[in-house]
A and B are shown apart, each in its own frame.
Chain A
């Protein structure tokens, strides 16, 4: 790339951002493994891209880790059984984003009998991509982008930096943090493996400063000369600020490079991987066991015993909550993920998926949205926007359905991080407005 490969002493300055209370209540508690529930419902679309087609039939006996859904499409990711047991039915299921997709319901036999697996042979990037695809790995940070696609470097593009995302800037969530603290060796061996196979010269592990134990553990491993003889892997302590873990922001904080609108990290020579993804990959390389469980943070004002739980994928939200001691008070809102970008769960029978990293149950006080009042044009949303957009001007354009103005203010660069709405003293529902505006823009471009 253009700039020299240096390791910054301090993170580069980033734009905007907000500072919600961390509320990392579960940061110091050891994760617990949840026993298999009576049944799991595994949706065939847990990733960005083409949904999978089920390849098992009702009545069939499956083992934990067995392939139950696959697709031929490039941007897709296969689905595996998360428990051993019998396929009860294949049914239609409502997804958090309002769409519907097929789901395989497996009645667990309670044995968690694993399918026979072998560690994959990986010596070159093509084998890595193939193995990652077979493992069913998607971006575990939340986006759910198939990891194999991300790791397939387009021809003619040089990747010089791997950034490992341990920012975990969402309030409440500590799943990545616990991953590092409980499995730091696993994380680092995954880092070394990916670095070696892809021939990457610089690895920056970005950790927010509110996780000193994670920083220390990673640092101890990375510092040792036997592990990292050329000193090509370093830990960078990031300022705790939201959205520090957003891909473009993290790249800027770690390298000073700015990903232009509509471009990808690989356009500036970077690959960003979530730490849990790396840790899983490392485990997969050793065992060949595909992605069947996920560590999630269960927290929120209505949960009795907040903790990190390792849950079989497809376990229903109500089963997980019950495992955490049930509800302390009535839950008025359930969330997938953190409170800044999380999606509301319409029905507690919805399930934990590959990219779920948290489940929050909120009591009435936390759940009821605040009353929206008129915009006073204070400009705080502009200061808070990490993309340097002008949310209040966009919102005005959306209100009058002015797609030209929406395009002029670059609405499509909005990543819906929620900083604008968080900081707004008038409590405007700016993110909702942005989403509506994007829909209008897409419709307009279809018409023309």
Chain B
């Protein structure tokens, strides 16, 4: 009995799940997209993703060091942000510009607001948007693995469903191959990293609204960033509502905004803007979707 006894609050056992394991699962779910990107767009695409990942991890490390906060690189969230940012860039992007995107994502959006769990918009998406606004030409130059320049399907080029499905069209590194994204989604669902609510409601709303507005639904779903955004970006824990009801509202909002921007704004694609706009709405959504305490529902019905 010489050793001091530990006194702590219950519970005294915890589940095996950790933030790091969750982030690792997200990274694994992104592997099909990385592979597809490398196959479709060549080694250069792989280099972009690797560069962004390394840059984000390094920036996170430096930020925590400078801010004299507990080191958080090992939770792998910075690596996830880096991979996500890399996969949403064109394969030919200048690496200096990519680095700028990483700085926006990690330093400004994530760490300046307190690090993991405290950013109010998606870091990778915001980094991408800033790049899109700052370097519009470089961010919208699309080339295939053989070096030929082309437009994206949403930008006006024609593409068959087969090409959309396998991703052999112009676009961002990780966003063109629908099969790879769906594989990632399946993994995330099986591992219970995410619930199906957000992807389903997002894609469902986008499909329904496209149908109402007379668009080709399958083409709308498979082209552009929609699938990638609905699976990997909109489901970010920190910037989506925590309650199921809130998630539905959030995802429906994303779907509506995406289609409206695509069809009526002067931009070919609206997924990034739609998600970031809805990110900003999250605190408001959470205010109106507080779950009712056990036992309250029935009482209200009786009286």
Contact = CB atoms under 8 A, between A and B. Distances in A.
Interface stretch (A108-116, A121-129, A207-215, A382-390): A382-390
B68 interface: no
Contacts of A344: 5-8, 12
B8 A369 contact: yes
B75 to A, nearest CB: 7
B267 interface: no
B243 interface: yes
Given A382-B291, A423-B17, A330 B3 contact: yes
Given A248-B294, A374-B118, A427 B14 contact: yes
Interface string B7-43: 1111111110111011000000000000000000000
Interface stretch (A30-38, A190-198, A408-416): A408-416
Contacts of A346: 5, 7
A343 B153 CA distance: 62
A410 B117 CA distance: 23
Interface stretch (B144-152, B183-191, B223-231, B295-303): B295-303
Nearest to B241: A379
B72 interface: yes
Given A260-B298, A379-B243, A431 B237 contact: no
Interface in B115-148: 115-118
Given A258-B298, A344-B5, A425-B19, A390 B11 contact: no
B15 to A, nearest CB: 5
A56 interface: no
Q: How large is the interface on B (under 10, 10 to 19, 20 to 34, 35 or more residues)?
A: 35 or more
B108 interface: no
Interface of A is mostly: loop
Interface residues of A, number: 68
Interface in A364-417: 366-370, 373-380, 382, 386-390, 392-393, 408-410, 413, 416
Given A330-B3, A335-B12, A422-B15, A260 B237 contact: no
Interface string A252-268: 00000111110100000
B11 A418 contact: yes
B293 interface: yes
B295 A248 contact: yes
A335 B9 CA distance: 11
Contact of B6 (A368, A388, A427): A368
A374 B6 contact: no
Nearest to B3: A330
A71 interface: no
A377 B117 contact: yes
A392 B241 CA distance: 12
Interface in A331-347: 331-335, 339-347
Given A390-B290, A425-B22, A261 B14 contact: no
B108 to A, nearest CB: 18
Given A261-B293, A343-B10, A382 B17 contact: no
B13 A20 contact: yes
B11 A341 contact: yes
Contacts of B1: 318, 331, 348
A122 B37 CA distance: 80
What are the 8 A-B residue pairs with the smallest beta carbon separation, nearest first? A418-B11, A432-B9, A379-B242, A260-B295, A339-B12, A258-B295, A374-B117, A387-B294
Interface of B: 1, 3, 5-15, 17-19, 21-22, 72, 75, 77, 114-118, 237-238, 242-243, 286, 290-299, 302
